[in-house]
Structure 1
Amino acid sequence: MRILTAIFTLLLIAQTAFAQNAYKKPGQANLREMDREIRKYMRDNNIPGGLVAVAKGGKLDFVRTYGKSNVELDVDVDENHVFEIGSISKQFVAAAAMLQVEEGKLNLDDKIEKYLPNLPSEWVGVTVKQLFNHTSGIPDYEEIYTYDVYRLRMTPEDIIKIASGRPVDFEPGQGWYYSNTGHYLASMIVERVDGMPIGKVLESRIFEPLGMSQTRFADPEAIIMGRAEGYWVNRNGELINRNATETSSTLGAGGLLSSAADMAKWDHALYGNDLLSEESKKIMWETTILPDGRDMEYGLGWDLELDRGLKTTNHSGQVAGFVAYFSRYIDEDVAVIVFLNRYRVSSRTVKDIMLNYIMPGS
C-alpha cells in the first residue's frame, strides 16, 4: 500500500509539473505551419484580417498578423492595430466594480433598485452580483433586437424598454442565461457610484494605471489611430462594411476596442495585487453554482473552465464587425489573444489552432 501511495504521489507531482510547463513557444517552422492553418480558416470564411498573439509575463511572446485591417484602403494588419473586443469588455467593468467594493462604495449583494430606481417592477430584487454572473433573469436586449442594436444610438431607457418587452427568464438567482442587459445595467451602476461615464471610470481606474493607452470605447465618430475596420458578408457571400459599435448601445457589455500589447498588460496585472486584491479576484473568479447544483463555470464577467485540462479564465467577444478571444492559462502565466475583423465567425477555432502549436502536449 505504501508503494502504491508513493507511486500515486509521484504521478500527481509529475502531472502537476507537466501542466505547469505545457507552453512551448513554437519555432519558425511551426509558426509557418500555424500561419498556414489560420490563413486557410480565414480564406474559407472570407475573413479580411486577423491578429493572434501569446502574452507571457506581461509582454508579447509573439504576434502574427494576417490579411487586411482595412480592405478598401488596402491596409495590412499591423501588430499595433486595435480591434473591437465585444464581450471581453465585461471583465473590465467587473474589475472596476470590485475596486468600488474594496473602497466600500458598492456591495455586490445590494439590490439594483438602490442605484437604478426607475426599473420595471419585475426586475426589483435582482442583486448587483446577479447582473454580473448572468443569474438575474433579465432578458437579453441583444437577443431580442439582434446585433444590429450595437450600430444604433440608444439611451438607457431604450435598452430597458427593449428588454422589458419580454417576461423575465426566471426568478433572480434561480437560473442562468447570458444577458447583455445585465452587464449594461451593471455599467450604469458603476457609473452612478463613481459619478462619471463608464469610459472615464475604466480609463481612470484601469487603463491609465496599467498603461493601456490603446484601450477605449469604439465610438464611431472618434479618430482612433490604428483602428481596424469591421466586416460581414451579405446574402451573396460578398464582404460588406459594418460601422463601428456605438458606445451608448453597449456600455461595458461589449463596447471596447484594444490592442494585443494592451491585453498583455491586462493579463499581467491580474497576477499581482497592484490593481485588485486577492480577495477581489477570488470573488470575481468564483464559479456560479445554481440552487439545483449545476456549475455554470462563470464568474463575474469571466468564463471559468478547463481547456485541454488547463485551468483558464477567459471570454470570447462578438459585435457587428468583429470577433475576439482572450484566454488566460493560469498555471502557465500565458494568455492567448485572437482578433478577427469579421462578424459571425469563430475566434475559438483560431484559438484552438494556436493551442495545437503552443501547447502540443496538452
Structure 2
Amino acid sequence: MKFIGIAALCALGATGTTAAQSAAADQFADGLAEFRREAGIPSFSVIVIENGEIVSESYLGFSDDEGDVATGADTSYFVASVTKAIAGTTLFLADRAGEIDLDTPLADAEDWQGFCEWFPDSSIVFAGGDINGVTVPDFACAGQTLRNAVNMRVNGEPGTDFLYNPLVFARISRHLDEVHSRDFRSLVYDYALDPAEMRDTAAGWRDAPRGHVLSHLAPPMHRVDGRFVKQPLPDDDFRAAAGLYMTARDLARFDIALSDGTLMSDALREEMWTPPMNADGQPSDYVHGWFVQRWGDERLIYHTGWQPQSYSAIYLHMPERQLTLIALANSEGLWWGSRPDRAEIHNSPLVQRFFEAYGMTE
C-alpha cells in the first residue's frame, strides 16, 4: 500500500493482519514491562509492524532522570548504528540514481589519506587484532572503495570478506562531504528521511530545523550500584556510521516506506539486500548497511545499535513474513555482545521473546 502517514495507519488499525498475528503481537507486548526491568532500561519504546501496519506500540518507563516525564510516542533516542541501515539505503539509491559511484576509491579524498596515516598502526582493534576470540584481519588502506566500506569488506584483502568495521564506515560521510557536490546529510534527507516523511528524526546535533527531536530526547542512562546514573551525551555529529536521533514511530515510517514502494521497488529492494559472496563461497552477512541472516527458513534483515553505557536499539525486518520489530532504549540494555564476524540477531534476548511469541523456531 502507499505510505499514508503514521496517524492514518493507527486509525486504520490492523486490517491486514490475521487474528493469530495480532494475538502474537499482544503476547509479546505483555512481556515487555518485565523485560524492561530485567534488562535495566529506563525509557523503552517498542513497535511491531505486520503487513505494513503498526499493530503494537509500547512506551514504557520515563524519558527523564527524575521520573517525571513518561515515555511516549514523541520520545526520541540516539539510535547509534541503526543509522547505518538508513545511510546504506541512501548510498544504494544514490548510486542507482547515478548521483554517486560506490566504486569510487576512498583515496580520492584527502580525509582518507589522513585517516590512513593514523588508523593502520593505531591500537584500535578494527585495524587488526582480536575481539573476544575473533581474529580481526589487518586493515590496509590501498584498494578501498565506497562499496567496500558500506559492505564492511575492508579488513584483509579489500572486497573479499565481511568483518564489521564501524570506523571505516564512518569515513563514508567524510569522503562524500569532501568530494561530492553536496553533503551527506542532504543526501540522507533526499533519499530517505523526506520521502518517508520522517519529521521526527534529527541528523545530528547540528540539524537545527529538527531541534524539537532533541528536546524530546531520553537522556542516556547507566545502572551503577543498583541505580540509574545519567551519562554524557554522544559528542559526535551526524556521520554515516551513527548520529541519527529519532522516535520509534519515525523508524516505523522508514520501514513502511521501504516496504510499500515509496523508497524503491520490490526488485530494487531485493537487489539492495542481496549480499556479495565471501572468499569461502558463502554469502556475506552484511550488505549496503544491513546485516542479512538465514535462521532456519527465515530471512532476517536487521541492524542493531549500541552506544556503550548510553543507548541501544534493534531494528529487525523479516520480508517474507512482512513482520518488523523496532526497539529503542536509553541504556545498553538491548545489547548482548554480538560478534564482529557474523550476523546472529537470534541471540538477542528480546528477539528470542519476539520469536517465541510468533511461534518461530529454527
TM-score bracket for the superposition, by shorter chain length: 0.7 to 0.9
Q: Is the 8 A contact 1:83 1:259 kept in 2?
A: yes
Name the Cα RMSD after superposition: 2.9
Question: Which has the larger displacement, 322-331 or 294-303?
Answer: 294-303
Structure 1 counterpart of 2:88: 94
Q: Which runs of 5+ in 2 are unaligned?
A: 1-16, 118-139, 337-347
Structure 2 counterpart of 1:349: 349
Q: Is structure 2 residue 71 aligned with structure 1 residue 72?
A: no
Q: Is structure 2 residue 222 aligned with structure 1 residue 228?
A: no
Structure 2 counterpart of 1:187: 173
Deviations 1:69-94 (A, max 9, x none): 21325211112311221111001111
Structure 2 counterpart of 1:143: none
Judged with a 3 Å threshold, the aligned counterparts in structure 2 of structure 1 residues 254 and 346 are, in CA distance, closer, same or farther, namely same
Structure 2 counterpart of 1:303: 291
- SS at 1:97's partner residue? helix
- SS at 2:62's partner residue? strand
Judged with a 3 Å threshold, the aligned counterparts in structure 2 of structure 1 residues 199 and 265 are, in CA distance, closer, same or farther, namely same
Q: Is the 8 A contact 1:318 1:344 kept in 2?
A: no
Q: 2:264 aligns with which of 259, 266, 276?
A: 276
Within a 5 Å distance, the mapping from 1:244-255 to structure 2 comes to 244-248=233-237, 251-255=239-243
- SS at 1:353's partner residue? helix
Within a 5 Å distance, the mapping from 1:18-57 to structure 2 comes to 24-26=21-23, 31=26, 34-35=28-29, 37-57=31-51
The total of aligned residue pairs comes to 305
- Partner Cα distance (2:315, 2:303) in 1: 6
- Partner Cα distance (1:22, 1:360) in 2: 14
- Partner Cα distance (1:180, 1:230) in 2: 21
What letter is aligned with 1:136? Answer: V
- Partner Cα distance (1:281, 1:177) in 2: 23
Structure 1 counterpart of 2:255: 267
Q: 2:278 aligns with which of 266, 270, 290?
A: 290
Deviations 1:156-215 (A, max 9, x none): xxxxxxxxxxxxxx2312433211112111222343465344333312332122211011
TM, length-normalised to structure 1 = 0.75
Q: Is the 8 A contact 2:304 2:314 kept in 1?
A: yes
The structure whose residues are more often helix, as a share, is 1
Structure 2 counterpart of 1:15: none
- Partner Cα distance (1:207, 1:263) in 2: 10
1:352 is displaced (CA, Å) by 2.3
Judged with a 3 Å threshold, the aligned counterparts in structure 2 of structure 1 residues 23 and 308 are, in CA distance, closer, same or farther, namely farther
Structure 2 counterpart of 1:214: 200
Deviations 1:294-337 (A, max 9, x none): 43321111111134532221111111411111111102222111
Structure 1 counterpart of 2:55: 61
1:219 is displaced (CA, Å) by 2.0
Q: Which runs of 5+ in 1 are unaligned?
A: 1-19, 138-169
Q: 1:240 aligns with which of 229, 247, 250?
A: 229
Structure 1 counterpart of 2:317: 328
Judged with a 3 Å threshold, the aligned counterparts in structure 2 of structure 1 residues 345 and 325 are, in CA distance, closer, same or farther, namely closer
TM, length-normalised to structure 2 = 0.75
- Partner Cα distance (1:342, 1:213) in 2: 24
1:111 is displaced (CA, Å) by 1.6
- Partner Cα distance (2:29, 2:88) in 1: 34
Q: Is structure 2 residue 359 aligned with structure 1 residue 360?
A: yes
Within a 5 Å distance, the mapping from 1:91-170 to structure 2 comes to 91-116=85-110, 118-119=112-113, 120=116, 122-137=140-155, 170=156
What letter is aligned with 1:301? Answer: G
Q: Is structure 2 residue 326 aligned with structure 1 residue 337?
A: yes
What letter is aligned with 2:299? Answer: K
Deviations 1:131-175 (A, max 9, x none): 0111112xxxxxxxxxxxxxxxxxxxxxxxxxxxxxxxx231243
- Partner Cα distance (2:166, 2:177) in 1: 17
Taking only the aligned residue pairs, the percentage that are identical comes to 18
1:218 is displaced (CA, Å) by 4.4
- Partner Cα distance (1:254, 1:318) in 2: 10
Q: Is the 8 A contact 2:111 2:174 kept in 1?
A: no
Judged with a 3 Å threshold, the aligned counterparts in structure 2 of structure 1 residues 331 and 23 are, in CA distance, closer, same or farther, namely farther
- SS at 1:123's partner residue? coil
- Partner Cα distance (2:83, 2:77) in 1: 12
Q: Is the 8 A contact 1:23 1:332 kept in 2?
A: no
Judged with a 3 Å threshold, the aligned counterparts in structure 2 of structure 1 residues 35 and 98 are, in CA distance, closer, same or farther, namely closer
- Partner Cα distance (2:33, 2:270) in 1: 38
Judged with a 3 Å threshold, the aligned counterparts in structure 2 of structure 1 residues 97 and 192 are, in CA distance, closer, same or farther, namely farther
Q: Which protein shows a greater Rg?
A: 1
- SS at 2:23's partner residue? coil
- Partner Cα distance (2:77, 2:270) in 1: 29
- SS at 1:43's partner residue? helix
1:353 is displaced (CA, Å) by 1.4
